[in-house]
């Protein structure tokens, strides 16, 4: 038995913890070597193999952010056109099962490969926490901690200058990071992609704060948030990138321009961007990533594939890999309404 492994898509704190756990478990429980492929799917297409050993260096990966295997995206058409090369690489190295660690796009590609005879076990990752069928993905807790810390810090500077502060966090289709960091750090308003916003309603919340004697306001905005139709505001279009992902034009900056005019107040925007994906994972993410790695290794080494590991309650279970791309996990309206009861 030989296991192959790659990380694909955007990086995420905890990827290295999965890599470490897969290698250690494969070695300790099955005496199986693990071969890594660098730079995502490209590593298979262009045969960028690297041996991973259960040594001191690997053991230190637990705390390290990013991915030592490197990562990247590959357009779905390129992947499909490269099936022959992918099969050849796996055969050349005698790989029996591939462990693919990635988000919805990676798991969709993994499902397609599995359908086409390449045995794959998936491990879900994304700071956005929008992969269906798992309670949570590693990376999310770290991103929320980073965003909450940043919002905490903005309170004092916003108050000192009597400003409205808009904080843009990641979250293309799902507002999990915005919701959790906003709640944790006591934001006065939270705007998420699932609930199109009315700029007048945002202004009203901020205006009321000033009327009530407060002298600042903080609104957390997910990058994928959109104005409600007919609400008097629209966003520019940035088109899509080569992978079909929408290029955002800066929703928080656009909102700031509107709020400045409507409230005649000093408004500032902070875009947290990739800081949310950088650095060491939180303890919670290290534990989840490690448990995912142990279970993925056990499945792959026992010849089970076509599944990905998912957290359900306290348990890690295998779920059919096609389930990962069936739907995105978005914030339910009831949960947003809990947060909304604290706005203002």
Binding site for ligand F6P (CB under 6 A): 10, 103, 126-128, 170-172, 223, 277
**Active-site residue 128, yes or no?**
yes
Q: CA of 26: how far to CAs of 4, 67, 121, in Å?
A: 11, 19, 14
DSSP letter, residue 188: S
Tokens coding 131: 């992969």
Residue with tokens 């909102």: 255
Of 203 and 271, CB closest to ligand F6P: 271
User: Smallest distance, Å, CB 284 to ligand F6P?
Assistant: 18
Q: Are 132 and 323 in contact (CB under 8 A)?
A: yes
Coarse DSSP helix, strand, coil percentages of the chain, rounded to the nearest 5 percent = 45, 20, 40
Nearest Cα to 343, choosing from 226, 198, 224, 231?
A: 198
User: Smallest distance, Å, CB 269 to ligand F6P?
Assistant: 17
Q: Are strands 315-320 and 307-312 parallel, antiparallel or unpaired?
A: antiparallel
- Please tell me which residue in 128, 130, 141, 285 is annotated as part of the active site: 128
User: Smallest distance, Å, CB 56 to ligand F6P?
Assistant: 30
Of 17 and 299, CB closest to ligand F6P: 17
| Measured distance between the N- and C-terminal CA atoms of the chain, rounded to whole angstroms | 59
Of 49 and 136, CB closest to ligand F6P: 136
DSSP letter, residue 227: B
Contacts made by residues 264-269, CB under 8 angstroms, sequence distance 24+: 265/162, 265/163, 265/164, 265/206, 265/210, 266/161, 266/162, 266/163, 266/164, 267/163, 267/164, 267/165, 267/166, 268/158, 268/163, 268/164, 268/165, 268/166, 269/165, 269/166, 269/167, 269/168
User: Smallest distance, Å, CB 321 to ligand F6P?
Assistant: 19
User: Smallest distance, Å, CB 214 to ligand F6P?
Assistant: 31
**Separation between Cα atoms, residue 43 and residue 282, nearest integer Å:** 28
Tokens coding 233: 């505001």
Of 26 and 142, CB closest to ligand F6P: 142
Catalytic residues: 128
């Amino acid at each position: 038995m030989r296991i192959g492994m790659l990380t694909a898509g955007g990086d995420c704190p905890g990827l290295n913890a999965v890599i470490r756990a897969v290698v250690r478990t494969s070695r300790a429980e099955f005496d199986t070597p693990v071969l890594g492929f660098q730079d995502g799917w490209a590593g298979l297409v262009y045969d960028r193999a690297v041996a991973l050993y259960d040594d001191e260096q690997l053991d230190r990966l637990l705390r390290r952010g990013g991915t030592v295997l490197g990562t990247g995206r590959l357009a779905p058409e390129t992947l499909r056109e490269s099936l022959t090369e992918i099969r050849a690489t796996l055969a050349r190295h005698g790989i029996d099962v591939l462990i693919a660690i990635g988000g919805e796009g990676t798991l969709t590609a993994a499902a397609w490969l599995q359908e086409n005879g390449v045995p794959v076990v998936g491990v879900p990752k994304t700071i956005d926490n929008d992969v269906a069928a798992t309670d949570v993905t590693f990376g999310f807790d770290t991103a929320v901690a980073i965003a909450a810390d940043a919002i905490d810090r903005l309170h004092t500077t916003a108050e000192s200058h009597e400003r409205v502060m808009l904080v843009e966090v990641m979250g293309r289709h799902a507002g999990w990071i915005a919701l959790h960091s906003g709640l944790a750090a006591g934001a006065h308003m939270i705007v998420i992609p699932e609930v199109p916003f009315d700029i007048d309603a945002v202004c009203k919340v901020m205006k009321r704060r000033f009327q009530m004697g407060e002298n600042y306001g903080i609104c957390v905005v997910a990058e994928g948030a959109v104005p409600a139709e007919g609400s008097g505001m629209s966003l520019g279009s940035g088109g899509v990138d080569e992978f079909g992902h929408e290029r955002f034009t800066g929703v928080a900056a656009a909102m700031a321009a509107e709020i400045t005019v409507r409230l005649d107040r000093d408004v500032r925007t902070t875009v947290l961007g990739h800081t949310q994906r950088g650095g060491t994972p939180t303890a919670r993410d290290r534990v989840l990533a490690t448990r995912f790695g142990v279970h993925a290794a056990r499945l792959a080494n026992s010849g089970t594939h076509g599944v990905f590991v998912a957290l359900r309650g306290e348990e890690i279970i295998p779920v059919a890999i096609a389930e990962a791309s069936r739907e995105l996990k978005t914030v339910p309206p009831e949960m947003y309404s809990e947060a909304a009861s604290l706005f203002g």
